[in-house]
Amino acid sequence: MKSEIDYKKYTEFSRQYREAEGFGKRNEIYDQSLYTSRLLDFPNLPKPQNNPSQQWQTSVLLDLQKLSIKKEIENIKEQLDNKSSPLIENFINDYKELIKNKDDKKMKNKERRELIEKLGEEVLLSEEKLKNKGLSEESIEKIIRYCETLVELEQKSEREGLQAQIQLSPKN
Q: What is the pLDDT along the chain (172 residues), one digit of tens a residue?
A: 555 555 555 677 777 887 777 655 555 565 666 667 777 777 777 776 666 677 778 888 888 998 999 899 888 888 877 777 888 888 888 888 888 877 777 777 788 788 778 888 888 888 898 888 888 889 889 988 998 899 888 888 888 776 655 555 555 4
Question: Quick one: residue 38, left, alpha or beta (phi over 0 = left, psi -120 to 50 = alpha)?
Answer: beta
Q: Which domain holds residue 138?
A: 52-167
Whether 36 is in a domain gets the answer no
Whether 14 is in a domain gets the answer no
Whether 156 is in a domain gets the answer yes
Whether 24 is in a domain gets the answer no
Whether 42 is in a domain gets the answer no
Whether 15 is in a domain gets the answer no
Going by C-alpha positions, the residue among 84, 157, 155 that lies closest to residue 126 is: 84
Whether 2 is in a domain gets the answer no
Cα separations in angstroms, 42 against 21, 82, 112, 147? 42, 66, 52, 50
Q: What is the DSSP letter of 31?
A: T
Looking at the structure of the chain, the number of domains it has is: 1
pTM to 2 decimals? 0.57
What residues contact residue 100 under an 8 Å CB cut-off, 6+ apart? 151
Whether 103 is in a domain gets the answer yes
